[in-house]
Amino acid sequence: MRQAFKWIAIALGCLIFIIGIAAVVLYSIGRSRLNQTYNVDVAAVPIDNRPETLERGKHLVEAVVACGECHGEGLRGRAFFNEPAIGTVVSTNLTGGKGGVVGTYSNADWIRAIRHGIGPTGKLLLVMPAQHFQNMSTADLGAVIAYLKTVPPVDNVPPATELTPLTYILIALGQFDDIIPAEYIDHNAPLPEAPPAGATEIYGEYLVNMATCRVCHGEELAGGQAGPGEPIGPNLTPSGELGGWTQSDFFQLMRTGQTPSGRQINDFMPWRYYGQMTDMELAAIWLYLQSLEPAQTPINLAGGS
Ligand code: HEC
Ligand code: HEC
């Protein structure tokens, strides 16, 4: 009897030891994956200071690409994701104030961060949705950067991003691939042309592609989730609720956060930004959403909100 216990104890001890070693190895694989550096060719983007350029940039930042959704009020930087099991993800202060990056950034640094998801030292930027911002045209990207350089300085030194050991292990196992855009975007993709602005399906597609709708509503807009524990972004194709909506229902949702049945939606949906889009822009997005193939909500999300 004694002998049997001894062997079981030894076997268990070995097992725990092996699991411990595996965890340490995976942890360091995860860490070194995030510490990779990248060297990419950054396209030249003309950046001018004409009032109409700055106005276009301000409108894109505040209403369409909604940088403040993650970078916080006045782009001051903030801990925008916080789950004890996963850690805290912090966005950068994008102003010229104390703790901000603006004064230190060259044009190439801006382009590298926004289009490639890579910081000035070549380190990948976690979560920063460059895969979508890559769809901005030359003129729109130039306008966004021109405007960002003029944002009023805010003094705010955000804390550092802190991930738990479990998260590094999951990163090593490929569980969080989608929040590492630098790894999978095509760094040689040319800057796209913008279609003519107008209340058209194709312009709506352009706007949706550069906004981050797909981060939360899924790549196919058939439903998605920004991250573990975050609210579900519903199916936006005609097979979802929107199938029964009118254009004015859609405008109301985007401007007030109220659904046709009068429900106030979760503020996680950044309607306070999108509500500042013009009628033309919202009409274009509505036309584009209506033109989508009705798609089935992914099984793991259906009914889960
Ligand atoms: C979905 C959330 C999200 C959105 C939307 C977003 N960012 Fe970021 N961004 C981040 C996070 C998180 C970081 C910090 C990444 C890191 O430190 O690894 C970051 C980092 C950056 C950096 C790099 C700063 C540095 O450390 O040197 C720049 C520049 C930047 N973002 C610009 C923008 C601009 C411009 C927009 C709007 C067009 C934008 N971001 C929208 C999440 C976001
Ligand atoms: C940061 C995540 C996030 C982003 C980015 C986002 N949404 Fe949402 N959206 C949500 C969530 C979550 C809901 C559901 C909220 C609720 O029902 O309480 C929602 C709801 C909606 C609804 C209502 C759908 C319904 O069935 O009730 C529409 C329409 C919508 N979003 C359109 C968009 C469009 C268009 C974009 C891009 C321009 C976008 N969203 C970007 C998270 C997001």
Per-residue pLDDT tens digits for 51-103:
999 999 999 999 999 999 999 999 999 998 999 999 999 999 999 999 999 88
Which two tokens mark 240?
A: 């979802």
- What's the chain's length in residues? 305
Using a 6 Å cutoff on CB, does residue 223 contact ligand 2?
no
Average pLDDT over residues 31-59: 95
Quick check: 303 pLDDT over 60?
no
Quick check: 297 pLDDT over 60?
yes
Buried b (16+ CB within 10 A) or exposed e, 187-199: beeebbebbeeeb
Query: What distance in angstroms lies between residue 176's CA and the mean position of ligand 2's atoms?
Result: 22
pLDDT band at 2 (very low <50, low <70, confident <90, very high): confident
Average pLDDT over residues 107-112: 96
Measured by CA distance, the residue closest to atom 37 of ligand 1 is 67
219: Cβ contacts below 8 Å, ≥ 6 apart: none
Average pLDDT over residues 212-230: 94
Query: What distance in angstroms lies between residue 85's CA and the mean position of ligand 1's atoms?
Result: 23
Can you give the pLDDT at residue 203? 98
Can you give the pLDDT at residue 4? 86
Query: What distance in angstroms lies between residue 265's CA and the mean position of ligand 2's atoms?
Result: 9
pLDDT band at 144 (very low <50, low <70, confident <90, very high): very high
Q: Classify the phi-psi angles of 199: left when phi > 0, otherwise alpha if psi is within -120 to 50, otherwise beta.
A: beta
Can you give the pLDDT at residue 1? 67
Q: What is the pLDDT of residues 156-178, one digit of tens each?
A: 999 999 999 999 999 999 999 99
Q: Classify the phi-psi angles of 85: left when phi > 0, otherwise alpha if psi is within -120 to 50, otherwise beta.
A: alpha
pLDDT band at 304 (very low <50, low <70, confident <90, very high): very low
Per the prediction, the chain carries an average pLDDT of 94
Measured by CA distance, the residue closest to atom 7 of ligand 2 is 269
Ligand nearest to the CA of 61: 1
Ligand nearest to the CA of 232: 2
pLDDT band at 305 (very low <50, low <70, confident <90, very high): very low
Measured by CA distance, the residue closest to atom 17 of ligand 2 is 265
Ligand nearest to the CA of 180: 1
Can you give the pLDDT at residue 51? 97
Using a 6 Å cutoff on CB, does residue 233 contact ligand 2?
yes
Measured by CA distance, the residue closest to atom 8 of ligand 1 is 128
Average pLDDT over residues 97-119: 94
Are the beta carbons of 72 and 80 closer than 8 angstroms? yes
